[in-house]
Chain A
Amino acid sequence: MTQWSGYFGLILQGALVTIELTLMGSVLALFMAFLAGMGRLSRFFVLRALATVYIEFFRGTSIFVQLFFAYFVLPFAGISLTPLQAGVLALGLNVGAYAAEVVRGAIQSIGREQYEACTALNLGRLQGMRHVILPQALLVMLPTFGNNAIELLKATAVVSLISLTDLTFQAQVVRAQTGNTMVPFTTILIIYFILALLISWGVRSLERRMARGLDGVRV
């Protein structure tokens, strides 16, 4: 009879690492999403070009390879990252590229009449963007951001390959030590699912809170 409680403790430690990675990756992804998404809509060609290159490159290459590049190749350029740093960097940049297109689409979905009201009230471009367009666009972005966050959560499993002790890594440790495959992997399957559900609920309640009293904005 295997002493499971100790092994579950190990898996829960892994869950904490996964949560930490997901949160930090999401923050970076969100930052990159707004930077690149708004860059795509810039008046300046250079900004548009930089944003487009970033988005296309990180959407067009594998997260797996990006992570290995960050962890194993960057040291040759004198940049040595811890596994956690490499994981956050790869996940944030990768998911940020997808989310950037969400930001762009949401901003473009706000009707022309709102921009015209800004002009008629003499708001500057940035003022209108910050106070009128973005608050409405945010509501359009949220559901897809929820999707992106869940994608990011699931993608964290790849960091086990660079020896970061996340859920998947710990499950493999447990499997190696006990010889049992079903228990650890069923456990982490359930934990991933619960974490994804938490993200869904969180995003949905945020949506409801922000949509209160609004109409004319799709929810």
Chain B
Amino acid sequence: MSASAPIIKIDGISKSFGSFKVLDGLSMQVMPREKLALIGPSGSGKTTILRILMTLERIDAGHIQVDGEQLYHMERNGQLLPADERHLARMRQKIGMVFQLFNLFPHKSVIDNVTLAPMLTKGMPRAAAEKRAMELLDMVGMADKAKAMPAQLSGGQKQRVAIARALALQPKIMLFDEVTSALDPELVEEVLNVLWRLCAETDMTMLLVTHEMGFAHDFADRVLFFDRGRIVEEGKPDEIFRHPKQERTQGFLKKIIAAGHRV
């Protein structure tokens, strides 16, 4: 695959929950190493895209290519068949996700949270998994809490552990779903600093759904503004935040600024 080919290629996907159409014929592409911010009002479908990429939701129509391969389809003798669990498991290796509410395993210590998946899915021996986990915990500034239980951590600390846990599987693509939305304001910074560090030290592709407009502006290579299951506007952060062309984008940003967010 050449460096200029998109790592994610979404082609006309639709998704409904009951009679509510969340995504409606959506197409978009993401380039390798790109940092993409997805913004928009709640219910606009931005989180659903991340959940679909992580295979937590299935699509009703359309195609998705990840790293040159179909995500929800398998090619067999030139035909596209629905993906089976084995295909999905192989595709999931390319993708990691961090959740708004951390979703740590409450019965496992910090380090066990990080080592569980590499040991189970990659057959990594415990010693190697722990060594790698300590490096990652060090990177997110949580090495001194390796033996702690999640219940003993603050929200920001939990989220940094969740990031280390996702990184342990060495995904090419990381999905961040409102990772600071559940945090007290003074804890937001420590999580965002970890994202900056990831950006500097890895070449992962990153998709962020976020309400931190200031961060999205500084961090993202490209911003997509979603409304009602469609991309209303996209462009460089400066274009979207300083000179939005669409009325809906302008209206959304105005509301966000009125709510006290820095842009």
A: which residues have CB within 8 A of B?
113-114, 116-117, 119-124, 127, 131-132, 135-136, 139, 213-217
Among B101, B121, B151, B152, point to the contact of A122 (Cβ < 8 A): B121
Complex contacts, A214 vs chain B, CB 8 Å: 106-107, 149, 151
A213 and B99 within 8 A (CB) = no
Chain A residues contacting B152 (CB-CB under 8 Å) are: 213
A121 and B116 form a contact (CB under 8 A) = yes
A113-B101, A114-B103, A216-B106 in contact; A120/B96 too (CB < 8 A)?
A: yes
The contact sample of 29 A-B pairs, CB cut-off 8 A, is A113-B99, A113-B101, A117-B99, A117-B105, A119-B55, A120-B92, A120-B97, A120-B103, A121-B116, A121-B165, A121-B169, A122-B93, A122-B121, A123-B116, A123-B117, A123-B120, A124-B121, A127-B121, A132-B105, A135-B107, A136-B105, A136-B106, A213-B151, A213-B152, A214-B106, A214-B151, A215-B106, A216-B106, A216-B151
Task: Check B116–A131 contact: CB distance below 8 A.
Answer: yes
Give B residues with C-beta under 8 Å from A: 54-56, 89, 92-93, 96-97, 99, 101, 103-107, 116-117, 120-121, 149-152, 165-166, 169
Given contacts A131-B120, A215-B106, contact A122 B92 (CB under 8 A): yes
Return chain A residues, CB-CB under 8 Å to B54. Answer: 116, 119-120
Q: How far is the CB of A150 from chain B (nearest CB, A)?
A: 26
Contacts of B120 in A (CB 8 A): 123, 127, 131
Taken together as a complex, chains A and B put the C-alpha atoms of A135 and B108 apart, in Å, by: 10
Inter-chain contacts of B165 with A (CB < 8 A): 121
Min CB–CB distance A114 → chain B (angstroms): 7
Contact of B151 among A120, A131, A215 (CB under 8 A): A215
A143 CB to nearest B CB, Å: 17
The answer to whether B121 touches A123 (Cβ under 8 A) is yes
CB contacts (< 8 Å) of B96 on chain A: these are 120
Complex Cα distance, B106 from A139, in Å, reads 12
- If the complex has contacts A136-B106, A214-B151, are A122 and B116 also in contact, measured as CB distance less than 8 A? no
Q: Which residues of B contact A121 (CB under 8 A)?
A: 116-117, 121, 165-166, 169
CA distance A117 to B98 in the complex (A): 9
Cα A121 to Cα B150 in complex, Å, equals: 17
- Measured CB to CB, the closest approach of chain B to A127, in angstroms, equals 5
Point out the residues of chain A lying under 8 angstroms from B55, CB to CB: 119
Whether A213 contacts B92 in the complex (CB less than 8 A), given A116-B56, A131-B116, A132-B105, comes out as no
B104 cross-chain contacts in A, Cβ below 8 A:
117
Contact assessment for A124 and B89 in the assembled complex, using a CB-CB cutoff below 8 Å = yes
Give min CB distance, A113 to chain B, whole Å: 5
Q: Which residue of the partner chain B has the closest CB to A138? A: B107
**A120: which B residues are within 8 A, CB to CB?**
54, 56, 92, 96-97, 99, 103, 166
The winner among B97, B106, B121 for most chain A CB atoms within 10 A is B106
Q: Who on chain B is nearest to A122 by CB?
A: B92
> How far is the CB of A24 from the nearest CB of chain B, in Å?
30
When distances are taken between beta carbons in the complex, the residues of chain B under 8 Å from A116 are 54, 56, 99, 103
Q: Given the interface contacts A119-B55, A120-B96, does A136 sit within 8 Å of B103 by beta carbon?
A: no
7 new A-B pairs (CB below 8 Å) besides A121-B116, A131-B120, A136-B105?
A: A114-B103, A116-B99, A119-B55, A121-B117, A122-B117, A136-B107, A214-B149
Chain A residue with the shortest CB-CB distance to B117 = A121
Q: How far is the CA of A131 from the CA of B103 in the complex (A)?
A: 14
Least CB distance from B11 to A in Å reads: 23
- Give bound CA distance, A119 to B166, whole Å: 11
Q: Check B105–A119 contact: CB distance below 8 A.
A: no
Complexed CA–CA distance, A113 and B93 (Å): 19
- The complex places the Cα of A166 from the Cα of B247 at a distance, in Å, of 83
Q: How far is the CB of A198 from chain B (nearest CB, A)?
A: 27
Closest to A134 in B: B107
User: CB-CB < 8 A to A139: which residues of B?
Assistant: 107
